[in-house]
Amino acid sequence: MKKHIQTQQEWEIQMATQILEFVQNELFIDMPYMSIALNALTLVNDEQIETMATDGRNLFYSASKMIHLFKNNQKYIDRAYLHSLFHCMFSHLWIRQNKEQNHWNLACDIAVEYTIDHLNKPCTKRILSLIRKETYEKLEKDVQYISAPAIYSWLFEQDNIHELVYEFFTDDHRYWPQKEDSQANMSNNSLQDSWQKIARQTMLDQIKKGKDNEEEGSSLMARQIQVSKTKRNYKDFLKKFTISREELHANPDEFDLTYYTYGLHLYKNLPLIEETETKEVHKISELVIVIDTSYSTNGELVKNFLKETYTLLSESDSFFRKTYIHILQCDDAVRKEDVIHSQNEMEVLLNQFTLVGGGNTDFRSAFQYVDQLIEEKKINHLSGLIYFTDGKGIYPKKRPSYKSAFIFLDDYDPTTIPPWAITLRLDPLDFKGAGQ
């Protein structure tokens, strides 16, 4: 049998694979808690790529360019590999939604590079350029909690975008999911969930390792993961608040074809249909929406949020025939309650909506008020409570008996949130047209 002679391309792929395995080992030595993430991507040669790229499943690289980089700048490969992994762990590929693509790509790159530069690990440590140093200082001054969504908003106030792109470009984003690719949405959600599990496990492993846990870079990494965990599709998020109940209506999934065909046979043009009268459905019966009316709340944003919430639920047929939406305005006490039963009532409320309050925030007041309504039988089938807030206030220590979520429009400190709370971070851009 004639012995196979290795081609130049085969040799390059073999060498590049060995280089990337060497890089994996270097990263593992400095960050052993990253072991699961380091083995999560399949290596794929792609000569179109200048550096690296990922779609959440594969790590694409150019074998020829990888060999060249290894000879001249090995540390760049270490950083680029970790850079692509962090994009996946921080869910950057899946949480863009309505954001402008170029600004979003840059925001994600800055967020990742900021985290890597603050990890202070031997395999990724580098001297900061002047523009990088100045950018970090400005970010720390202007942004409370540094993350890709916060940096994205900040970028629109900057006039040196091209300079920042040149400085922070590391990997190629061409394989990131496109928002219009609806067929891939289910697969992308599953992929995002997988990476969030990897990210959570990485944090647990890091805590077990101990010494890294108090370093600045590690806390940054944890915060980025927390932001990515909460930045999910709002429509999917609302499904958490449906309850299961039998509803009276025809169920075409269960009617007996025997009667149908017998009727056609006997009467020629009159099918007999016996459909079941009830069907188990998942919908919302009663929902409490609490608006934080402290001094920092924007009235127009509140109106847009309420309208978008009701519209999404209406479009997805999420209401039972009798549905009650309790809208509470609360700062350190419940100041006003409106109960909505229909789209018309919501429109009337929004047309004359004004914020009532303006004091400090005490979340406990709203929960105590809802508990009282339940005790008095004024709420009987509560699907859950959604609190729209900036996150600054006193939280209840005790877990309520119903699902409870806090929705934020800005970055927040995850260490202040009770462990029982469901959290979601939205951007005003996510429902900017709702009030129009």
295 and 226 housed in the same domain: no
- What would the pLDDT profile of 136-187 be if each residue is shown by its tens digit? 999 999 987 788 988 998 999 999 999 999 999 999 999 999 865 545 565 6
226 and 289 housed in the same domain: no
The C-alpha torsion from 76 through 78 and 82 to 84, rounded to 10°, is: 50
Q: CA 74, CA 77: separation in Å to the nearest integer?
A: 5
Return mean pLDDT, the chain.
82
Helix or strand run (H / E) with residue 42: strand 42-45
217 and 299 housed in the same domain: no
Stretch 253-282: mean pLDDT: 60
How sure is the predictor about 9, in pLDDT bands with cuts at 50, 70 and 90?
A: confident
Least confident among 26-40, 97-111, 144-158, 169-183: 169-183
Q: At what angle do helices 63-72 and 74-89 cross, to 10 degrees?
A: 120
Q: CA 425, CA 417: separation in Å to the nearest integer?
A: 13
The range of the structural domain enclosing residue 381 comes to 236-243+285-431
- What would the pLDDT profile of 193-222 be if each residue is shown by its tens digit? 899 899 989 988 887 766 555 565 567 787
> What's residue 314's pLDDT?
67
In a domain, 421, yes or no: yes
Enter the pTM of the model.
0.67
Q: Is 338 helix (H, G, I), strand (E, B) or coil?
A: strand
212 and 97 housed in the same domain: yes
Number of CB atoms found within 10 A of residue 433's CB? 11
Q: How many residues does the chain have?
A: 436
Number of CB atoms found within 10 A of residue 395's CB? 17
> What's residue 104's pLDDT?
95
Q: 102: Cβ–Cβ under 8 A, 6 or more apart, which residues? A: 165
> What's residue 433's pLDDT?
46
Q: CA 436, CA 432: separation in Å to the nearest integer?
A: 8
- What would the pLDDT profile of 41-95 be if each residue is shown by its tens digit? 999 999 999 889 999 999 999 999 999 999 988 899 999 999 999 999 999 999 8
Give the torsion sign (CA, 416, 420, 425, 426): negative
Per the structure, how many domains does the chain have?
A: 2
What's 394's domain CATH number? 3.40.50.410
Q: CA 119, CA 216: separation in Å to the nearest integer?
A: 7
- Tokens standing for 51? 């550096």
289 and 384 housed in the same domain: yes
Residue 123 reports pLDDT greater than 60: yes
218 and 295 housed in the same domain: no
Q: Is 171 helix (H, G, I), strand (E, B) or coil?
A: coil
Place of tokens 């985290």: 115
Helix or strand run (H / E) with residue 434: none
Residue 436 reports pLDDT greater than 60: no
35 and 173 housed in the same domain: yes
In contact, 365 and 332? CB cutoff 8 Å: yes
Residue 108 reports pLDDT greater than 90: yes
304 and 401 housed in the same domain: yes
